[in-house]
């Protein structure tokens, strides 16, 4: 089981930001995505830069959510793009061939196929269960995940309400990575929360 941790500034106290993410890495996270929807450019730059150093120390990739310019600025390992973000070819041109580019495909297999054809390195589907981060997000079935696994050769990320209790259902259906926000950063003991996904 590969844990993909996504930060959320509403859940992590700013003064403990790096320390909190480090606990999740120690607990078993294999990828970190920096996600901050605020417009505080200075804080975003400083946090992302510090986070990149931390990820390099643990030899795991740091991806930036939705912000190709920030990823390029700090030299992050890649980006994760949603439906209203920069297109894949433009992100690739700016970040280079070695960058990891992931794309949210929600509950649409056609979007995933298009993303792979355009050069995405992985695709993400969700939400699979009730999500506290995006309660209004469209639901995605485990059946679609299984179909995606049969038709796609790239890594598949699952997101949305994934807990240690339902994680095996998602992995069995074909997910390579479990993307988690609240299940990690919304918990009192983030180290124990991360470890629970890796049992």
**Residue labelled with tokens 């699952």:** 158
Find the catalytic residue in 30, 94, 113, 134.
134
Find the catalytic residue in 35, 44, 92, 127.
35
pLDDT band (50, 70, 90) for residue 138:
confident
pLDDT band (50, 70, 90) for residue 193:
very high
Confirm whether 118 is a catalytic residue.
no
Q: Is the peptide bond before 194 cis (omega within 30 degrees of 0)?
A: no
Confirm whether 44 is a catalytic residue.
no
What integer best gives the mean pLDDT of the chain? 95
pLDDT band (50, 70, 90) for residue 135:
confident
Q: Mark 81-107 as b/e (b = at least 16 C-beta within 10 Å).
A: beeebbebeebbeebeeebbbbbbbbb
111, 151 Cβ separation under 8 angstroms: no
CA distance 185 to 136: 20
Which tokens belong to 148? 């995606």
pLDDT in tens, 103-122: 999 999 999 999 999 999 99
Going from the C-alpha of 139 to that of each of 9, 86, 122, the distances in angstroms are 24, 24, 20
Confirm whether 104 is a catalytic residue.
yes
CA distance 184 to 73: 27
Check whether 137 has a pLDDT greater than 90.
no
pLDDT in tens, 34-61: 999 888 999 999 999 999 999 999 999 9
Which tokens belong to 11? 């859940």
10 Å Cβ neighbour count for 70? 19
The DSSP line for 128-148 is -S--SS-TTSPP--HHHHHHH
Find the catalytic residue in 44, 92, 104, 131.
104
pLDDT band (50, 70, 90) for residue 86:
confident
According to CATH, the topology of domain 2-169+178-197 is TIM Barrel (3.20.20)
Check whether 1 has a pLDDT greater than 80.
no
Taking residues 148-175, report their average pLDDT: 97
State the pLDDT at residue 199: 67
Check whether 128 has a pLDDT greater than 70.
yes
State the pLDDT at residue 11: 96
Check whether 197 has a pLDDT greater than 90.
yes
Lowest mean pLDDT among 6-10, 125-129, 130-134, 160-164: 130-134
- Beta-strand relationship, 78-81 and 100-104: parallel
């Amino acid at each position: 089981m590969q844990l993909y941790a996504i930060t959320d500034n509403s859940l992590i106290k700013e003064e403990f930001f790096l320390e909190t993410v480090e606990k999740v890495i120690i607990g078993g996270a294999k990828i970190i995505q920096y996600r901050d929807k605020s417009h505080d450019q200075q804080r975003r730059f400083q946090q992302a830069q510090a986070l990149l150093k931390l990820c390099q120390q643990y030899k795991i990739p740091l991806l930036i959510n939705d912000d190709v310019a920030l990823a390029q600025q700090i030299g992050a390992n890649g980006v994760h793009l949603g439906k209203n973000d920069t297109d894949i070819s433009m992100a690739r041109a700016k970040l280079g061939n070695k960058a990891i580019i992931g794309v949210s495909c929600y509950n649409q297999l056609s979007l995933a196929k298009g993303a792979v054809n355009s050069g995405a390195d992985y695709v993400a589907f969700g939400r699979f269960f009730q999500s506290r981060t995006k309660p209004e997000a469209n639901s995605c079935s485990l059946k679609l995940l299984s179909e995606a696994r049969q038709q796609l050769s790239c890594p598949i990320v699952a997101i949305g309400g994934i807990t240690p209790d339902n994680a095996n259902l998602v992995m069995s259906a074909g997910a390579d990575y479990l993307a988690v926000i609240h299940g990690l950063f919304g918990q009192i003991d983030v180290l124990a929360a991360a470890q629970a996904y890796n049992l």
